[in-house]
A and B are shown apart, each in its own frame.
Chain A
Amino acid sequence: MKFFQLIILILIGNHLLAQKCSLTFSGKVYDPHENSGLEFVNLYFEETGRYTQTDSTGSFLFENLCPGTFHLIINHLGCETKKVFFNLQGDSIINFEIEHHEHFLQTVTVQSHRANSASQTQNTINSNEISRLAGSSLGQIVQQITGVSSVKNGSTISKPVIHGMSGNRIGILNNGIVLAGQQWGTDHAPEIDPFASDHITVIKGVDALAYGGNNLGGLVLLEHGKIGKDPHLHSHNLCSYQSNGNQVALSSRMEQSKKKFDWRLTAGYKFSGDHKTPGYYLTNTGSREYTGSFLIIKDFSPNKNIKHFLSVYHTELGILRGAHIGNLTDLKTAIGRDTPFFTKNDFSYSIESPFQKVSHYFYKGTHQWQDGKQFTEWSYAAQLNHRREYDVRRGNRSKTPALDLLMQSYFTEIKKKIEFGKKNIFFGIQQKFNYNFNQPGTGIFPLIPNYLLNNSGTFIQASYQLSNTFLELGSRYDFNLLSVNTFASRTPKIEEVKNHSFHNVSIATGVKQRLMEGWTARLNTGFTSRSPEVNELYSSGLHQAVAGIEEGNPQLTKEYSLKTILTNTFNLREDFIFETSIYAQRINNYIYLEPQNEYRLTIRGAFPVFKYNQTDATIYGIDALGRFELFRHWQWLGQFSYIKMIDLVKDQALVNTPPVQLFSSVKYQQEKIPFFGFISAEMNARYVFRRSDIKDDQDFMSTPSGYCLLGAEITSDFSISNHKVKFAIRCENLLNVVYRDYLNRLRYFANEEGRNLAISLKFDL
């Protein structure tokens, strides 16, 4: 079993001489991907201050050590530093695996028990990157990856977009479980704290069969790492400040490995006020966030363990008051104004209507057994998502939510992986219930009716490892039963129960081929069917936030998607990596919200009518990433992404697709002192082109022009009395450029944020 962090432990010999401080401790540090030794790895005993470095074969040797318990720190330039606890009682040989490629920022990692992923195009953001971006949202963090952007609703709400797909088509997974309650469009942020995770992985490939459901666009996985086998209490603390919005964010994690169980506790707090564009404050864009999680792992034997994970998330998000739209006339008045209505001259932390208040409670239990070559996992999870949206209302009702949804989700699965030499079989069954209930008392007709979704799924995957080739084949079947309490008429109100059932089938194949030393190609093809979600079938009424009457269509049928993605990775030398992905996707019956050529007269004025409709669409694009060492200590990184989405029926570009982007950075890295101090300084530029293929009559406002943003960053690692400290200071939009972003729905009303200075400090105790 290959674990991410380290792991082979062989203790040999038990000399009597041990008590006389003459123990030797030696071993080798490996790169798990190349299976070769790593040189210049620093090893450091926290207790005694002794250190050494590996030689050209990756070997190291300590002599004349005293017996006792130690923390060994393993550090390699730019890698994630590992801390290992062990009890030294005799001469020892220990071999370590460290994730060497992680300093490439994005890398393909094979994690234990994620057998489905080896031939997929996926990118991981490690904990170093996550802590460097302290205080940012999940959308902002995953945007670091080529081909991933984020669709925003002002300063506070953002959602990831993978290869042009977002919302219903992207699964966001909290420790293996799909986050429920992401079905209601762009104005709902994911209910998750990215800083409680160690790794954030984006899978861009076709269907990740083991997670299933409706995720034909890709997956964002947030995972916590293993708890180190260390009997001491350790804590990692992160605090950050961002000048734009005067945001303060604190995050802390404590963990310990006790005799009977291992535990970890995390807590986070974020507090921000009005954000600022170069010219004015974005009034009412503050936010609050409180998060916490608890993980407990009990090992019954090396082959059997139980995990319980509990997390709590609460947020309040202000929404730009000047973007609150009453009707079409208001929309016309507000669009393209230099300064939005209601803009105040002063900074404020206060949050007034309109705003959202969201609470999310999550529990997951996992049982794992390893029995020879068989690995079995049973999981069960429950989620409670309480979403309240507050509007500007008459008669002192602003304190009463205009939308009050309570969504419960229950899930259980059994997965099994069997190894036959170089062959693997991975299969499982899953059962999920989602129950959405509109809380009474809002006094407003609900946009989305009450419903119950029952999803039963099963999948099987097989993989085969030849010398230079890795083959994968899998399929998945889902049965969805949707029962909706819809309305036959509103006045008088007559409710009616409608049932829908859908059978979905997905098939995926993947090949990973090592063509030459340092050149790996991945080809992935998958067919997926996705059944329509409840908002697509049964939305009904005025969606005030988008100034339109939205109507679902109960006649919608399944979407069929065929996607192929070819990824080539060139890793010719340690300091040279070049990766390209080319993809093409055909979606038949693509469901989208279509503006109708119709205005409906109401007492609030005439509103445009939007209906959910289906068409056939084609998507294709390229992602490219290059990174190499210019000179010693100097690194260059370049990223490029291009995407085109076409509506084949109307023969025109689809709206809300990410613009072409170019990113380039130059980084200087230097180890200040032999074992720890590490400093890096970076300058970067992001150029976003105008989406010129969108015609003016496809949108309220012509697409915003291109822009170039400069950024700078300095990070440093050092230690103060054996405590590791990581310091980062970065500046975004250095030149305070005025621009509007095409994927921000509030682009009609206000400019994007101006210069932002962020400082973060991480210290381990």
Chain B
Amino acid sequence: MKNYISIKSYILISLFIFTTACTDNGEGDEQELITTLIYSLNQIGPSTDSVLMTFRDLDGDGGNSPVITVSGPLKANTAYQATLKLLNESVTPSVDITEDIRTEGTSHQFFFSKNGTLNIANSYTDTDANGKPVGISSALIASGPSSGKLIITLRHEPNKTAAGVSNGDITNAGGETDIEVSFDVEIK
């Protein structure tokens, strides 16, 4: 009798997995995906010149290559107010991730670096709850004519108190990279 019960329950279990085997992978939309970074630069002062840099990869990691655009060159010897915007455009309507970063300001920081002879200097114009920089808004000063790459990095859980980190030096920051994009920039 005992054997019978065991056989029955085994068959039931087997049937159960066959019926559930047809369900799908069950995953909703990717919540933390960032597809788009928009870096907008507005000239400080009476002139309203602006430059827009975007990095857009709508299908996420892998798949199609990202589209990277820079609307034009920077003006030499000019100061710009810069704002960063992060979006997930793989869903409709698109999701603005910038607010997440602002809310969790103490555990995020943007870093700006360059290569080549690009004559730029960046400085933070915002702070988190502890008075440390975040970098959603910053200032950029373009000096003499030059060209090179501008690299924008978003670190998650950096050590903001490590040496040089609050001045924008990424060397001792640690943490995990959420974003790392680079733009070809020219100063004329």
Instruction: Spell out A's residues near B (CB within 8 Å).
Output: 306, 322, 324-327, 329-330, 333, 341-342, 365, 367, 380, 382, 392-395, 397, 408, 410, 412, 433, 435, 437-446, 449-450, 452, 483, 485, 487, 490-491, 495, 540-542, 549, 600-605, 607
4 extra interface residue pairs, beta carbon distance < 8 Å, beyond A333-B174, A442-B27, A600-B61: A341-B174, A397-B31, A412-B10, A604-B178
User: With a CB–CB cut-off of 8 A, which chain B residues contact A322?
Assistant: 174
Give bound CA distance, A490 to B61, whole Å: 10
* Cβ–Cβ contact A443 & B174, under 8 A: no
* Pair B23/A437 contact, Cβ less than 8 Å: yes
Contact present for A382 and B180 (CB under 8 Å)? no
Known contacts A491-B60, A603-B57, A446 near B17 by CB under 8 Å = no
Question: Which residues of A lie under 8 Å from residue B176 when comparing CB positions?
Answer: 324-326, 330, 392
Tell me which residues across on chain B come within 8 A of A394, comparing CB atoms: 32, 97, 100-101, 104, 156, 178
Contacting residues, chain B, for A485 (C-beta < 8 A): 24-25
7 closest A-B pairs by beta carbon, nearest first, are A443-B31, A341-B174, A326-B177, A605-B180, A440-B26, A326-B176, A452-B21
Q: Which residues of A contact B101 (CB under 8 A)?
A: 394
Q: Is the CB of A602 within 8 A of B60?
A: yes
B14 part of interface (Cβ distance < 8 Å): yes
List 27 A-B residue pairs with CB atoms under 8 Å apart, sorted by A's residue number.
Answer: A306-B2, A341-B159, A341-B175, A392-B156, A394-B104, A395-B31, A410-B10, A438-B25, A438-B26, A443-B27, A444-B30, A445-B27, A446-B25, A490-B63, A491-B63, A491-B90, A542-B61, A549-B61, A549-B62, A601-B65, A602-B57, A603-B34, A603-B55, A603-B57, A604-B179, A605-B179, A607-B61
Tell me, rounded to whole Å, the shortest Cβ–Cβ distance linking B45 to chain A.
Answer: 32
Whether A604 contacts B100 by the Cβ 8 Å rule is no
Contacts of B27 in A (CB 8 A): 438, 440, 442-446
Task: Give the distance to chain A from B59, nearest Cβ to Cβ, in Å.
Answer: 5
Contact indicator A601/B62 (Cβ below 8 Å): no
CB neighbours (8 Å) of A410 from chain B are: 10, 13-14, 17
- Cα distance A239–B157 in the bound complex, in angstroms: 38
Task: Give B56-77 as 1s and 0s: 1 = Cβ < 8 Å from A's Cβ atoms.
Answer: 0111111101100000000000
Q: How far is the CA of A280 from the CA of B20 in the complex (A)?
A: 49
B17 touches A441 (CB 8 A): no
Q: Using Cβ atoms and an 8 Å threshold, which residues of chain B touch A604?
A: 61, 177-180
Report B-chain residues with C-beta under 8 Å of the C-beta of A326.
Answer: 155-156, 175-178
Query: Looking across the interface, which residue of chain B has its beta carbon closest to that of A367?
Result: B3
Residues of B with Cβ closer than 8 Å to A? 2-3, 6, 10, 13-14, 17, 20-21, 23-32, 34-37, 55, 57-63, 65-66, 90, 97, 100-101, 103-104, 153, 155-157, 159, 171, 174-181
**Of A410, A446, A542, A601, most B-chain CB atoms within 10 Å:** A601
Please give me the residue from chain A that is nearest to B59 by CB atom. Answer: A491
Cβ of B177 and Cβ of A450 under 8 Å apart?
no
Minimum distance in angstroms from A378 CB to a CB of chain B:
8
Q: Contacts A541-B61, A549-B62, A603-B181: A439 and B14 contacting too (C-beta < 8 A)?
A: no
B97: which A residues are within 8 A, CB to CB?
394
Assess A380 versus B61: contact at CB under 8 Å? Given A322-B174, A440-B26, A450-B24: no
Q: Which A residues are CB-close (under 8 A) to B13?
A: 382, 410
Alpha-carbon separation in the docked complex, A365 to B6 (Å): 9
- The CA of A490 and the CA of B58, in the complex, are separated in Å by 10
Q: Which residue of B lies closest to A393 (CB)?
A: B32
Find chain A residues with CB under 8 A from B25 CB: 438, 446, 449-450, 485, 487, 495
Task: State in angstroms the CA–CA spacing of A330 and B155 once bound together.
Answer: 10
CA distance A445 to B24 in the complex (A): 13
A441 and B60 in contact, given A433-B14, A603-B35 (Cβ under 8 angstroms): no
**A606: nearest chain-B partner, CB-CB:** B180
> CA–CA, A11 to B63, complex, Å?
78
Taking CB atoms, residues of chain A closer than 8 Å to B23 are 437, 450
Provide the residues of chain A in CB contact with B103, threshold 8 Å: 395
Which residues of B lie under 8 Å from residue A438 when comparing CB positions?
Answer: 25-27
Give Cα distance in the complex from A495 to B34, angstroms: 22
Across the interface, do A342 and B59 meet the contact criterion of CB distance under 8 Å? no
| Chain B residues closer than 8 Å to A439, beta-carbon distance | 26
Determine which residue in A437, A440, A495, A604 has the highest number of CB atoms from chain B within 10 A of its CB, and name it: A604
Chain B: which residue is nearest A353 at the CB level?
A: B157
Cβ-defined partner of A435 (8 Å) among B17, B90, B159: B17
CB distance from A306 to the nearest CB of B (A): 7
Tell whether, in the assembled complex, residue B10 and residue A601 are in contact, meaning their CB atoms are under 8 Å apart. Answer: no
List of A residues within 8 angstroms of B29 by Cβ = 443
Shortest Cβ gap from A355 to chain B (Å): 15
- Report the separation of the CA atoms of residues A146 and B102 in the bound assembly, to the nearest whole angstrom: 56
| A543 CB, min distance to chain B CBs, angstroms | 11
Bound-state Cα–Cα, A322 to B31, Å: 25
User: In the complex the two chains form, is B174's CB within 8 Å of A440's CB?
Assistant: no
Contacts of B63 in A (CB 8 A): 490-491
- Once A306-B2, A433-B17, A452-B17 are accepted as A-B contacts, the answer to whether A397 and B32 lie under 8 Å apart by CB is yes
Q: What residues of chain A lie closer than 8 Å to B62, measured between beta carbons? A: 540-542, 549, 600, 602
Q: Is the CB of A327 within 8 A of B180?
A: yes
Q: Determine the distance from Cα of A487 to Cα of B30 in the docked complex, in whole angstroms.
A: 14
Pick the contact of B32: A443, A450, A601 (CB < 8 A): A443
Q: How far is the CA of A605 from the CA of B181 in the complex (A)?
A: 6
Indicate which residue in A329, A392, A443, A603 contacts B37 across the interface (CB closer than 8 Å).
Answer: A603
CB of A22 to closest CB in B, whole Å: 47
